[in-house]
């Protein structure tokens, strides 16, 4: 599978042909589909991301989140990227191409951070003292993530695409990074399963589900609220379905039909009596009986209709 220079050089070169003026949008996906072998990941999906938005991409394991991001980075005729978007990409596994160099050497080579600001910046990303002389090959997953995030934020990229950025981060740095992202004025599209992180950073939620993309124009709380509404709708639909597909025994239906016939006869008799009876008190009793027979007949008819 193709690899990307995480801070964008290769990515930005590759997608050069797909750039265009798409107004306020930084990304526009139209009618994109993807399947591996016989497994459809998504079918005819469309989405747009506006400049400056912080968007979380959610979905179950294997739903196609990483695949979608890879398609954006690989370039595709169904995908357009704003002319002035400068993309940086953090891959899910957080790999470096050159690991035989120290943190400080790496930063000196790869960023424009001034020497006297380096220590301060490194400290913000929780690298202290001798840490900065560690080789990249010796870094933990969390240290690698922090280093990549530092470079992305400090190097003038304006569209960050992050695949599970908090996977390796400890809770202290996660809080720092939430603040960093909230201060960042570029666009961010991030994949995450971390609901605290999503809650604190995303302004909009996209979810891959049932081979489609669902767009929730609000934060995680809003998304959760909508999930509850959707669940209620699903439960109601299920109830309706169960009701409509319920099987009634022949015996039950035949008994109902017998009761209906009986009620119809009783109603007929009561009506005849109403015509022939002269005693006022008896007429009142008969008309009350007639009302009650008619109500019972209506109830029986409703039950009978349900069996059809």
Q: Which stretch binds Mg ion (CB under 5 A): 42-50, 59-67, 127-135, 233-241?
A: 59-67
> Of the two residues 51 and 65, which places its CB atom closer to ligand ATP in the complex?
65
- The verdict on 66 binding Mg ion (CB under 5 A) reads yes
CB of 30 to ligand ATP, least distance (A): 20
Q: Which of 15, 26, 32, 41 binds ligand ATP (CB under 6 A)?
A: 41
Instruction: Give me the least distance between CB of 70 and ligand ATP, in Å please.
Output: 7
Burial of 111 (0-12, 13-18, 19+ CB in 10 A): middle
**Is residue 67 within the footprint of Mg ion (CB under 5 A)?**
no
Nearer to Mg ion, 60 or 123 (CB): 60
Window 81-120: residues binding ligand ATP (CB under 6 A): 92
Binding-site partner at residue 186 among ligand ATP, Mg ion, none, CB < 5 to 8 Å by type: none
Pick from 8, 64, 165, 186 the residue near ligand ATP by CB under 6 A. 64
- For the chain, the three-class secondary structure string (H helix, E strand, C coil) is CCCCCCCCHHHHHHHHHHEECCCCEEEEEEEEEEEECCEEEEEEEEEEEECCCEEEEEECCCCCHHHHHHHHHHCCCCEEEECCCCEEEECCCCCCCCCCCEHHHHHHHHCCCCHHHHHHHHHHCCCCHHHHHCEHHHCCHHHHHHHHHHHHHHCCCCEEEEECCCCCCCHHHHHHHHHHHHHCCCEEEEECCCHHHHHHHCCEEEEEECCEEEEECCCHHHHHHHHHHHHHHHHHHHHHHHHHHCCCCHHHHHHHHHHHHHHHHHHHHHHHHHHHCCCHHHHHHHHHHHHHHHHHHHHHHHHHHHCC
Given ligand ATP, Mg ion, none, residue 203, with its beta carbon under 5 to 8 Å by kind, binds none
Contact string (CB under 6 A) for ligand ATP, positions 184-223, x = contact:
----------------------------------------
Which CB atom, from 58 or from 118, has the smaller least distance to ligand ATP? 58
Query: Is residue 165 a contact residue for ligand ATP (CB under 6 A)?
Result: no
Q: Which stretch binds ligand ATP (CB under 6 A): 17-25, 64-72, 74-82, 172-180?
A: 64-72
Residues near Mg ion (CB under 5 A) are: 65-66
- Give me the residues that bind ligand ATP (CB under 6 A), please: 36, 41, 59, 61-67, 92
């Amino acid at each position: 599978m193709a690899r990307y220079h995480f801070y964008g050089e290769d990515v930005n070169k590759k997608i050069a042909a797909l750039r265009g003026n798409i107004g306020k949008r930084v990304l526009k996906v139209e009618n994109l589909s993807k399947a591996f072998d016989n497994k459809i990941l998504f079918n005819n999906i469309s989405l747009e991301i506006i400049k400056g938005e912080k968007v979380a991409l959610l979905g179950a394991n294997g739903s196609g989140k990483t695949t979608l991001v890879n398609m954006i980075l690989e370039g595709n005729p169904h995908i357009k990227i704003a002319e002035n978007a400068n993309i940086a990409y953090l891959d899910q596994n957080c790999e470096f191409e050159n690991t035989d160099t120290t943190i400080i050497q790496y930063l000196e080579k790869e960023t424009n951070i001034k020497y006297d600001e380096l220590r301060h910046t490194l400290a913000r990303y929780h690298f202290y003292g001798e840490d900065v002389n560690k080789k990249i090959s010796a870094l933990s997953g969390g240290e690698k993530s922090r280093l990549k995030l530092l470079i992305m934020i400090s190097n003038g990229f304006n569209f960050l695409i992050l695949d599970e950025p908090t996977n390796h981060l400890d809770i202290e740095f996660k809080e720092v990074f939430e603040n960093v992202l909230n201060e960042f004025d570029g666009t961010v599209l991030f994949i995450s399963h971390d609901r605290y992180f999503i809650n604190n950073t995303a302004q909009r939620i996209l979810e891959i589900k049932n081979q489609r993309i669902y767009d929730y124009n609000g934060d995680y709380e809003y998304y959760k609220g909508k999930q509850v509404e959707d669940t209620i709708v699903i439960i109601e639909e299920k109830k309706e379905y169960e009701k409509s597909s319920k099987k009634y025994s022949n015996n039950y239906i035949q008994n109902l039909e017998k009761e209906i016939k009986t009620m119809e006869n009783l109603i007929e008799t009561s009506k005849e009596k109403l015509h022939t009876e002269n005693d006022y008190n008896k007429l009142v009793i008969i008309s009350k009986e007639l009302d009650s027979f008619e109500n019972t007949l209506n109830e029986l008819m409703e039950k009978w209709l349900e069996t059809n």
